[in-house]
Each structure stands twice: as C-alpha cells, then as structure tokens.
A and B are shown apart, each in its own frame.
Chain A
Amino acid sequence: MEERRGFLNWVLGGGIAASVASFLYPVIKFVMPPDIPEAPVHEVNVGKASAFAADSGKIVKFGNKPVMLVHTSDDQWKAFSGVCTHLNCTVQFRSDQHQIWCACHNAFYDLNGKVLSGPPPRPLDQFDVRLKGDDVVIGRRA
C-alpha cells in the first residue's frame, strides 16, 4: 500500500516538476536578450563624408537592402532605395547625366527619386541623410 502511494505521488510530483521545468526553460531563455539586441535597421553609418565626392552616387548597404547615396554638386546629400521599382534591379548613379539609372531596362530617375523615363511604375523611396560630424548617417523616413 505504502509503495503504491509512493508510486502515485512520484507520478504526480514528477509530472508536475517535469512540466513546470519544460515551461520555465523557454521562459528563462526568452527573457535573456539575444546577442544581437537590435534587429530592425533604422540607421546606418555609411562612412566618412570625405569618402563620397561631390557629384557622385554610390550604393551602400542598409541592413540587407541596397540604398543609393547621392552627394550632389551643390553639396546636398540624398538617399533613395537602391531597388528599382520596375523589376527590382539595383540602380546606379550616372555622373554624365546627374541622374539615377537602372541598367536592366534603361530607366532614369531624377535626384528626387522621381521617374524620368522608362518602365518603373513608382518613384524611389527616399531615406533621410544626416551628417553627424564627419560621418554620413542614413535613416529611414518615418
């Protein structure tokens, strides 16, 4: 009888202990922050301003997406999504035309991201560019 009772208590106690452990384990793992505390990218420091000559444009990485950073001849900084709105090719800067160009189907965008010619249906999304000291920082538009 005693043995039986002991066994029953074992089953119940063991079950409760095991189940509570199986709930607490993920909870404890969850509350400890992962190694990369920040996943969403809203701001990227892309380098020194001196690295980008005036009247030039370059593709830089923003998280895992390309962004076209343009430093105009009158010292303005602009940034746009580097993904062409037609079929997602990566755009480039044409210094001969002072425009953004997509090689895939010959699309042209002006320095406000608006479509000048070619098949793209929408203008390029704009990003914010700020100068923090000598660093160029690109951020998402809210």
Chain B
Amino acid sequence: MYRWLNERLALDSIRELMSHKKVPVHSQSIWYYFGGITLFLFMIQVATGIMLLLYYRPTPTEAYESVQFIMTRVQFGWLIRSIHSWAANLMVLAAFIHMFSVVFLHAYRRPREMTWFSGMALLGLILAFGFSGYLLPWNEVSYFATKVGTDMAASVPAVGSYLARFIRGGEDIGGGTLTRFFGLHVAVLPGITTVLLLVHVVLVQQHGISAPPKLKRPVPEMPFFPNFALREMMAWYGTLAVLGVLAALYPWELGVKADPFASAPAGIRPEWYFLAPFYTLKLIPAHIWIFEGEVVGLAGFAILIVVWCLLPFWGVKRPRWVAGAGVAFIAYLATFSVLGYYR
C-alpha cells in the first residue's frame, strides 16, 4: 500500500526531507508550539464550520432561527457550535501569542522576513474571520458590534462612505451585509488563508526554526520526527481538552434576535480582540486640531500596524528597542482591553 502510493506521490522524498527537520531546544522552546496550535485550531474551525454549514441559513429571517435549531434540535449541535465559537477566540489568542513570541525570540530577522509578512497577513485574515463570523448568528450583540465596526470604516476620510457601503452591502446593516459576510467567511477568507498558510508553512520548512540570536552556537536540537512531533501531539490534545471543557461547561449563548429598530442595549462592545482599539477610539476627543478625533485614531492605528509589519527592517540592529516595543504593545493591548470590557 505504501509502496503503491510512494511510487506515485514520492512519499519517500518527503520523508527524507522531514527527517532532517530539527527544532532548537532551550529555555524558551515552549513558545514553538503556538504556531502549530494556531494551525490546529484553524483546522478545527474548518471542520466545525463545514458541519455548521449543513444547517445554517444566511438570511435575516432565518439566521438566528437556524442557530437556535442547531443549539436545540440538532444532535450535538450545541457542542459543534460552542466549539466553533470558543476555538475562534482561542485561535486569535494563540495567533497573538505566536506573533509576540516571534518578536521576543527575534525570529523575524533575515532571511525570515517573508515569513513575518505572511504571518501578519494571516493575523489580519484571522481577525477578518472573527469580524465576519461574529455577525452570522444575527443576534443583538452581533448586529450592534458590526454596526460599531462598520461605522468606524465610514469615518475614513474620502473613501469612508464607499468603504462602508461596500462592507455593509447597502446603507444599513441588513440582508446584504449578512450575505457578504457569509460569503467572505466561508469562501473568500478560507481560500486566501489556505494559500497564505501554505506559503507560511513552506517558508518555515525552508528556513528551519529560528533560535534566539543570543544563544551560544551550536544550539542543542531535537529531531522534528518523532520527538517534537510527539510533543506537539500532546499540545494539540491538550488544546482539545481545553476546548471540550469550555464547550461543555460554558456553551456559547444564543442571545436575543437582532432587531434593527430596537435601540442599542447599554454597554455594547465588540469581541474582546477588538476592545483595545475600540476603547482607544472612545477616549479620543471629538476633535484634535483640525481633524475629527476618530480619523486621527484610525490613522494612528494604521501607522502603528504599518510600523509593526515593517519590524524586520527596523528591529534587527536594535533588539532592545524591539523588546521594549513588544512589551509596550502587549501592555497597551491588555490594559485597554480590560478597560474596554468594564467601561
């Protein structure tokens, strides 16, 4: 059987390549698991997402009811849906941990700049997945969180109104928005993500796993197969355990069906991974000099993101600055997320 496949798929050469893959072993090796965990969670999302597709209906009159159907009538529907919602959050968290560990271990340096760029693009895609997926249950929270998000898009100067109309599929959030977000969430984003993921993973194989520059060479290593792979299996199984506990003991809420005519409930806010920019915008005064406050805020975010993406270019000669910037960024994100949650 293996011989038959090998003759046609050149499995032996892949095996040969993989047997050379090594993983550095040092005090910070634990961070090496988080890329794989993010990937694993993505695979779970694809699997549970496909299953949810069997029952979900993407129109305003049926979306909420179909999710209710899944939660109450479909066998284990509550489990699949809760796993999908929890894994989404865990994936965002894992992706951020992975990104910050790359920053602190200086893994973005030459020749791994393209890996960094593809990684940043993947992070953006994950956030887009989160934003588009959040609307699909069509409950009160999702409706107003999307409204807040698209209103921010509308405040971009010059192109704002076109951008908002494009995203919303109309003047207001409605059936058009749901259709667009659904198409984005199940077709466009998965397609782009798969391609970028392949690029990202192939590049990692190409350049090998980076060890922090400060460590004395040669750095002790372990073979990927089977040593690291077995450990990674443990990590993935551990992730499954966490997901199982979360989904079974804290099933995801159905909420109240969205009613565009009802006023926004007090304390409306986006999902936790958007809380920091959300709260920042809340703090910015309405006008700064001649510019509208929101515009300044969005411009600030844009600049920050561009600078962060260009890290491989400015972060090589001054590693201390990078560490400082990383810590500051984490502190900002953490503080403002907490503030955004409670205020």
Contact = CB atoms under 8 A, between A and B. Distances in A.
Interface in B180-223: none
Interface string B55-77: 00100111001101100111111
A30 B75 contact: yes
Interface SS of chain A: loop
Contact of A39 (B51, B54, B65, B240): B65
Interface string A28-50: 01111110100110100000000
Given A27-B51, A30-B80, A31-B54, A40 B74 contact: no
A65 to B, nearest CB: 13
Contacts of B61: 40, 42, 140, 142
Interface string B299-329: 0000000000000000000000000000000
Contacts of A33: 54, 74
A30 B70 CA distance: 9
Interface string A79-112: 0000000000000000000000000000000000
A40 B75 contact: no
Given A26-B80, A30-B51, A31-B51, A40 B65 contact: yes
A64 interface: no
Contacts of B72: 39
B75 A29 contact: yes
Nearest to A122: B261
Given A19-B237, A40-B69, A26 B76 contact: yes
Nearest to B64: A40
Interface string B108-149: 000000000000000000000000000000000000000000
Interface string A8-34: 000000000001000100110111111
Nearest to A36: B73
Interface residues of A, number: 16
B103 interface: no
B275 interface: no
A26 B237 contact: no
A64 to B, nearest CB: 12
Contacts of A142: 60-61
B124 to A, nearest CB: 30
A33 B75 CA distance: 8
Contacts of B75: 26, 29-30, 32, 34
Given A19-B237, A39-B69, A40-B69, A29 B76 contact: yes
B105 interface: no
Contacts of A36: 73
B79 interface: yes
Contacts of B57: 40
Interface-central residue, B66, B68, B73, B237, by most chain A CB under 10 Å: B73
A34 B75 CA distance: 7
8 contacts: A19-B240, A26-B75, A29-B76, A30-B76, A30-B80, A33-B74, A34-B73, A36-B73
Given A30-B51, A39-B72, 7 more contacts: A30-B79, A31-B51, A31-B54, A34-B74, A40-B65, A40-B66, A40-B69
